Structure 1
Amino acid sequence: MKKIAISFTGLYRPKIQIPPEKSIALMKKKFGADLYFHTWNGREDEVPEIYRGQIGHFFPSKEPKMEYHPVFDPEPTSNPKHHWYRKTRFDGRKTINGNKQIISYAQLFEMIPKKYDIYIKARWDTAINPKFNFEQFYPLLEEGPVGFMTRAEGPNAHDYTTTKHRVVPKVKSKTENNDWHDMLSDTIVMHKEEHFDPKFVMQLHREKQLLSSEWGWWQVMSKPFGGDNHTCIYGGCHIIR
């Protein structure tokens, strides 16, 4: 039996289609995991007492002030979509906080006991398909992190309510819809301890080099190991609005 820790970070939003309490309970049951929680200082009261009252499992921290743009300012990846974002300055106001999820996870990860076989990064608004077979991907964690996501539309659309999955081809691509090339799917990220260094995350942030979202997760969990040790999966989970 694998010992698993699941971390929930981000902002707690109760008024979404699937209540966070239901999703969190499903994930705990599905993975048989210990749970850890995070939010920013000053927002603790937004988190229900059932989570923030757990001594040794709830760790708020100071929200970083962004003095750089995590999409436009750091050294770029070779991902075509990233190049397009930088060229067009697309969605700059929305993506200014895109690397805070990585910072919050790094700060929480520092507080989690290092006694687990598998660590899972999730969000307060992550929902899973309880019938999906996540265990089939555990062996891949010896190579590197495994990220899961689904897209609602476009050429990579996938229905997370099915038990089927698709592995994103591990190929470099010049197309903007490639979901592996210099990016790690991040609705859920599974990894072993050695593939995530929170001190490296904070170093990149201090140097104003920490990238946003999927590019940032790749930067801190795959790039240090050659850039191709990660696996991206369509299926199993979704962000609930």
Structure 2
Amino acid sequence: MKTSVVIAAMVLAMMLGFCSVSQADHIPVVSVTTITYPDNYNTVPLPGHEFTYLIDDTGMSGDTRTLADTQDSNCTKYLSDGIGGPTGLQFDLGQNYAVGEIRIWNYVNTLSTDPNKETMFGMRDVYVTFYDEAGTYEYGGWDGTVPKSPKDPGNNPVSVVIDWSNVSLTNTVRYVRFYCESPAWNWSNGWSYMTGLGQVRFYEKGITDCEQAIELGYTLATDVNKDCYVDLKDLAIIALEWLDCMDPQNLACNHPWVP
């Protein structure tokens, strides 16, 4: 009996291994507004291509990292290179957050009958900047490429993940701005003056420090030595406590070989 219990516990520990302490919560978006970039550019869209035109939640149905929900449906905007220059989007998170990850789904026009136009309006070269609650520029930016989304909206994985987890937890942002200088920076390669995104989702920084995880209750009860691992060290402690326990009133201390 004793041997079988110990072996079973060891197998369980080997299966569990590391006890992850990461906990990245989804940040709801309060509003999305158009902005100018640079400041002397205006935001006049081309006729028939206002900023809410062709809103398309192509990222909603096939999120392979986490289940998306409809509360972010307003995150899709259609940008245009209006008279005077490009425009951008500002996502307001409502308050300061320690943003650890931004997930972007590119635009797919699922209503188009022309296969060449299904993905061409997606953003390509994107510049993302961060601002605190006072609107002060913060912490540099992200300059990268958003890949094309698959043409099948039923299987549309996230296009790109901006990992911001190397920034200290004390650095927080409220406003996140996206710029895509259409048409030069979109997937039409200059053919179209419009560009857009399918979905943008923000996540708080996951907790990676073991001490923080313990304080917030993210560890397992079997992690008895509190090192954020369930391993043989924990099993040794559990086994010793069990063997040392001789209280007849405690069923957990049942030793059938002791008279």
Same fold per superposition (TM over 0.5): no
Q: Normalized per residue, which structure has more helix? A: 1
Q: Normalized per residue, which structure has more strand? A: 2
TM-score by length of 1: 0.30
